[in-house]
Amino acid sequence: MHIELKDIAKVLKENDNFYILTHKSPDGDTLGSAFALCFALQKMNKNAKVLCSDVIPAKYSFLYENLKLQNFKPEYIISVDVAETQLLGDNLICYKDKVDLAIDHHLLNQKFAKLWYIDSKSAATAEIIYELIKNLKVSLDLNIANCIYTGISTDTGCFKNANTSAQSHRIAASMIDLGVDNFKIDKIMFDTKSKTKLNLEKIALDSLEFYYDDKCAIISLTNEEINKFNVCESDFDGFSAIPRQVEGVLIGIFIKEVVPGEFKVSVRTDESIDASKICAYFNGGGHRCAAGCTVYGTLFEVKNKLVNIIKRFVG
Amino acid sequence: MHIELKDIAKVLKENDNFYILTHKSPDGDTLGSAFALCFALQKMNKNAKVLCSDVIPAKYSFLYENLKLQNFKPEYIISVDVAETQLLGDNLICYKDKVDLAIDHHLLNQKFAKLWYIDSKSAATAEIIYELIKNLKVSLDLNIANCIYTGISTDTGCFKNANTSAQSHRIAASMIDLGVDNFKIDKIMFDTKSKTKLNLEKIALDSLEFYYDDKCAIISLTNEEINKFNVCESDFDGFSAIPRQVEGVLIGIFIKEVVPGEFKVSVRTDESIDASKICAYFNGGGHRCAAGCTVYGTLFEVKNKLVNIIKRFVG
């Protein structure tokens, strides 16, 4: 059932012992949202804890370094930025039927929770959490501000993606007023590349192919190419954006062979084309300009499947 | 002589027939600032015109497409975002002793004008122009908002550079409220690459070298490499940032051979090192984290000269 923000505040005040679930392969928004809410609940003298199925990448450690680690039996379970239960990941899937409240900004949230608040107009779930914390009458501090800023900044691609609104900027300004070192955070999130990443970029650029009068561009990395390096997930940050950035390209695709024969496909589109509709053909989903899916086969077959579907969108 | 913003407003009201001078190799801030001010002056029923020594790149044409083209004899000359007269360029250098008012955010503005307003705390000159227009009591419209937004967004590297302040975000929010299509503008400014640019990136990545325990990284493009393509100035946008982005690098340098034997050097640094001091050794200058200079010789010699100076900064 849908619930209003002010009613969420009431529910949270009435409950205690919160588990806050993030999505697997955690990003700045799911983590920023979860830790911001956790800090706020702890400030209300509640027990609260953030859970993630995967190891949290070290670059996000500043988000939770001041958080109290509390052990307790969960009584109320909240998911943040989790569009469907499958995204909880192997270690949290046990909670899939137990989520009391889902807070999310994904239009296609599967409404798996008992209560949900979904605002797809928010550029980041962190924007919703910001409003919620105001409703909770918890005073914002630097810990919370760092989390909110990181969520917004990462989910808007540092205020560059189509979802970036006046409100995104306005909240960012308030967080900087609270002492957030925005330059430092954005440098960690966007402006730091490992040497491995640079090497992978070179390989990916070499794979660039164009289709349909250059309206579609594809780059790829095979499992073999990836395994030449000691990679971590963040080495692939930003790769999805590369093909769409080429002048005139309406659909940019990054294909990554995660295990032999299984390809993770990221689709980025111009506003005129709905990326989530392309990915829906392969049981994937996402947002209008950024979506993803998994396709199986050889690289050649995967490209063929994609290119055949894309024909319908650049006709 | 320094003049306050409110007094600038008074001076502009008392005068007419304005020439507004930008710097050569114009960027989003000098153009955004100039056209915003021009729109505002025309709204005050003044004659006003923007002059630039170089051809304005096509991607900025949306800034002035609604501007009235007026012909008149100049009576009051303003420079915006011009740190020193040499930056006026060949076609505007004739005005070097005639600038009545300089509005700028460069700390090292040479104070060549009769009156100046320099605020190095502003991330962009466009932020100063925004305040000035408020002082002029001219109502902001979408034309002006597009210019102000573009100035701020481009000079902050889309809200990512060290200069990005709460005020930068706050003004951006107000401009979006006025109807600015921030996604479209940022896509043009940051997220669109020509194929030529991609090719040059590959070559530049191949040239990457590290010095001083990887604290300094250098990439380069020779005149010969550049001349293989049909390049335009914007094909090099963002190259300066590439070497500094590598993990652990404090000083990133991009060397571009503009004509045989003449190298344009861009230095980008971590906040702990002053890039403008490095460039001062070669009679260049700029900001703390972003500066430039010109060095002569062979590529080998130029690198040697730079690496020798840099030793003093990463000791």
Give the Cα separation of B308 and A279 in Å (integer): 53
- Domain B5-190 and domain B195-314, same fold? Reply is no
Residue B233 pLDDT exceeds 80: no
Residue A127 pLDDT exceeds 90: yes
Return the SS3 of B81: coil
Burial (CB count within 10 angstroms: exposed 0-12, middle 13-18, buried 19+), residue A246: buried
Contacts of B192 in chain A (CB under 8 A): 245-247
Q: Which residue in A298, A145, A299, A281 sits closest to A218, CA to CA?
A: A299
What is the domain class of A195-314 according to CATH?
alpha beta
A247 part of contact set with chain B, CB < 8 Å: yes
A169 part of contact set with chain B, CB < 8 Å: yes
Residues 88-147 of A with CB under 8 A from B: none
Residue B303 pLDDT exceeds 90: yes
Of A42 and B162, the one with more pLDDT:
A42
Q: Are A178 and A134 in contact, with CB atoms under 8 Å apart? A: no
How is chain B split into domains, by residue range? 5-190, 195-314
Structure tokens at B144: 């002006």
A155 part of contact set with chain B, CB < 8 Å: no
CATH code of domain A5-190: 3.90.1640.10
pLDDT confidence band for A148 (50 / 70 / 90): very high
Sheet arrangement for strand A48-51? A48-51, A18-21, A76-80, A101-104, A115-118
Q: What pLDDT was estimated at residue B21?
A: 98
Chain B residue nearest residue A163, CA to CA? B183
Q: What pLDDT was estimated at residue A108?
A: 86
Strand partners, A79: A21, A102
pLDDT confidence band for B108 (50 / 70 / 90): confident
Q: What is the distance in angstroms between the CA of the first residue and the CA of the last residue of chain A?
A: 40
Interface contact A247-B183, CB threshold 8 A: no
A165 part of contact set with chain B, CB < 8 Å: yes
> At which residue do the structure tokens 């900087």 appear?
A176
Q: How large is the average pLDDT for residues B164-193?
A: 94
Q: What pLDDT was estimated at residue A116?
A: 97
- Give me the residue from B159, B205, B247 closest to A202, CB to CB: B205
Mean pLDDT computed over every residue of chain B: 95
B245 part of contact set with chain A, CB < 8 Å: yes
A167 part of contact set with chain B, CB < 8 Å: yes
Return the SS3 of A238: coil
| Triad B200, A188, A243: Cα angle to 5° | 35
> Which pTM value belongs to this model?
0.85
Q: What pLDDT was estimated at residue A238?
A: 84
- Give me the residue from A166, A170, A191 closest to B245, CB to CB: A191
Q: What pLDDT was estimated at residue A194?
A: 87
Chain B residue nearest residue A175, CA to CA? B166
- Give me the residue from B162, B177, B247 closest to A194, CB to CB: B247
B231 part of contact set with chain A, CB < 8 Å: no
CA atoms within 13 A on the CB side of B54: 17
Give the Cα separation of A285 and A263 in Å (integer): 15
pLDDT tens digit sequence for B13-72: 999 999 999 999 999 999 999 999 999 999 999 999 999 999 998 899 999 999 999 999
Q: What pLDDT was estimated at residue B126?
A: 98
Question: How close A283 comes to chain B (CA, Å)?
Answer: 28
Residue A256 pLDDT exceeds 90: yes
Q: What is the ipTM of this complex?
A: 0.84
Return the SS3 of B181: coil
- Of all residues in chain A, the percent with pLDDT exceeding 90 is 87
Q: Are A70 and A17 in contact, with CB atoms under 8 Å apart? A: no
Q: What pLDDT was estimated at residue B247?
A: 87
Q: What pLDDT was estimated at residue A239?
A: 93
pLDDT confidence band for A62 (50 / 70 / 90): very high
Return the SS3 of A300: helix
Give the Cα separation of A267 and A251 in Å (integer): 7
pLDDT tens digit sequence for A186-205: 988 987 888 899 889 989 99
Contacts of A165 in chain B (CB under 8 A): 176
Q: What pLDDT was estimated at residue A193?
A: 84
Best A165, A182, A184, A231 member to test B by mutation, with max B CBs in 10 Å, is A182
Helix axes A166-177, A142-155, angle to 10 degrees: 150
Burial (CB count within 10 angstroms: exposed 0-12, middle 13-18, buried 19+), residue A223: middle
Question: How close B192 comes to chain A (CA, Å)?
Answer: 5
Give the Cα separation of B223 and A121 in Å (integer): 48
Of A108 and B41, the one with more pLDDT:
B41
Lowest-confidence region among A264-268, B247-251, B303-307: B247-251
Q: Does an H or E element contain B35, and which? A: helix B28-43
Give the Cα separation of A310 and A314 in Å (integer): 7
Lowest-confidence region among A122-131, A226-235, B222-231, B306-315: A226-235
Contacts of B190 in chain A (CB under 8 A): 160
Mean pLDDT computed over every residue of chain A: 95
| DSSP category for residue B246 | B
Residue A113 pLDDT exceeds 90: yes
Tell me the CA distances in angstroms from B85 to B12, B22, B89, B109, B155, one per residue in order. Answer: 22, 11, 8, 10, 20
Q: What pLDDT was estimated at residue A271?
A: 85
- Of all residues in chain A, the percent with pLDDT exceeding 70 is 100
Give the Cα separation of A74 and A47 in Å (integer): 9
Chain B residue nearest residue A184, CA to CA? B162
Chain B residue nearest residue A194, CA to CA? B247
pLDDT confidence band for B266 (50 / 70 / 90): very high
| DSSP category for residue B129 | H
Residue B213 pLDDT exceeds 80: yes
Structure tokens at B128: 């100063």
